[in-house]
Amino acid sequence: MNSSQAPLPPEEDRLYLSVVAPCYNEESVIEELYKRVTSLCQKHGYSYEIVLVNDGSLDSTWEIHQQLCANDPEHMVAVNLSRNFGHQLALSAGLSVCRGERILIIDADLQDPPELLPDMLRKMDEGAEVVYGVRRTRYGDSFLKRTACTVFYRCLLLLSDYPIPLDSGDFRLINRRVLDALNSMPERHRFLRGMISWIGYNQVPIHYDRDSRFAGETKYPLRRLIALAIDGITTFSVKPLRLSFISGLGALLFSLLLFIYAIISWYFFPDAPRGWASLMVVVSMLGGMQLFVLGILGEYLGRVYEQSKSRPLFLIESIKRDSMQ
């Protein structure tokens, strides 16, 4: 992802599974998360690690991480960020250090059940490269949040140039190939669920009911939710920029019609009040031209923006070659 990314260990040292969870003031849930993930992995005999990222918490989250590391050094990795960077960057930090072949991204608060893991792994055995959770129900969220999310995901689908699955958060299982592609995308405003959709390959949904938080409060007040929505829309679409181009064109067309109307009324109805039609023509034409020029600027700006994201141009799924050549 960038120069701070840890070098990957050699293949033979890689683990089967990494579970990555960002944590911000989650002292009341971490131990439960650790317990549930550990008992699941031990029951199924996976070789695994749990990567917990402390995103500048103000409570005892980091102390608990360290304690868990001391008690279970074989499976625990604790990452401490220098301050609060936000959910998406905390997650990106965890993803840049994990060593597993398959990576489960999960929130610390247990709203997304880790017990789905065996089913998700099975889907991956059957050929999926990403298994993303789709929320059938959202028990834990307020009416306002549910409505805001429903509207947001539908707007995103409308604006984005490629499909981003409806009602899915960051809860997903990805493989190493997808993670490497994700880490090679250096953009600063990271909307990970969209970026993973952008990567493509074989992505398969898994439906589940979203619980309420195990404990603690949501770290996503409406203000942060709106910021995430703006990131989601602006990183995946330059269509809002195109809007001024289209409305400028519309206003110019309108002023042309007015112009024709003004000529006709001047010619056929000499008694009609003078002045207003020509005034309207001038106003709408000037407004239209300004929007039109802004739209042209927007088109260039959109291209500069796309370029500055420095995403890979394409990702190759597979190549077949005639071995005789």
Which 55-114 residues touch ligand UDP, going by CB under 6 A? Answer: 55, 84, 86-87, 90, 107-109, 111
Angstrom distance (rounded) from CA 169 to CA 13: 30
Shorter beta-carbon distance to ligand UDP: residue 75 or 219: 219
Least Å distance, CB 76 to ligand UDP, is 17
247 counts as binding ligand UDP under rule CB under 6 A: no
Closer by beta carbon to ligand UDP, 214 or else 305: 214
Q: Which SS3 state, helix, strand or coil, does residue 47 take?
A: coil
CB atoms within 10 A of CB 253: 12
* Residue numbers 174-213 binding ligand UDP by CB under 6 A: none
In degrees and rounded to multiples of 5, residue 175 shows phi and psi of -100, 175
**For 60, how many CA atoms within 13 A lie in the half-sphere containing its CB?**
8
**Which does residue 220 bind out of ligand UDP, Mg ion, none, counting CB within 5 to 8 angstroms by kind?**
ligand UDP
Please tell me whether residue 22 binds ligand UDP under the rule CB under 6 A: yes
The amino acid sitting at 56 is: G
- Find the binder of ligand UDP among 219, 277, 281, 292 (CB under 6 A): 219
Residue 23 contacts ligand UDP per CB under 6 A: yes
Separation between Cα atoms, residue 288 and residue 305, nearest integer Å: 25
Question: Looking only at Cα atoms, what is the longest distance across the chain?
Answer: 94
> Least distance to ligand UDP from the beta carbon of 249, Å?
39
26 makes contact with ligand UDP (CB under 6 A): yes
Query: Which residues, in sequence order, are CB contacts of 264 under 8 Å at separation 6+?
Result: none
Residue closer to Mg ion by CB (options 92, 111) is: 111
Compute the least distance from the CB of residue 205 to ligand UDP, in Å.
19
Does 298 contact ligand UDP by CB under 6 A?
Answer: no
Count of beta carbons in the 10 Å neighbourhood of residue 303: 12
Cα 223 from Cα 216, distance rounded (Å): 19
CB of 256 to ligand UDP, least distance (A): 49
Residues that bind Mg ion (CB under 5 A): 107, 109, 111
Structure tokens at 249: 């064109």
Phi-psi region of 253 (alpha: psi -120 to 50; beta: other; left: phi over 0): alpha
Task: Give the binding site for ligand UDP (CB under 6 A).
Answer: 21-24, 26, 55, 84, 86-87, 90, 107-109, 111, 218-220
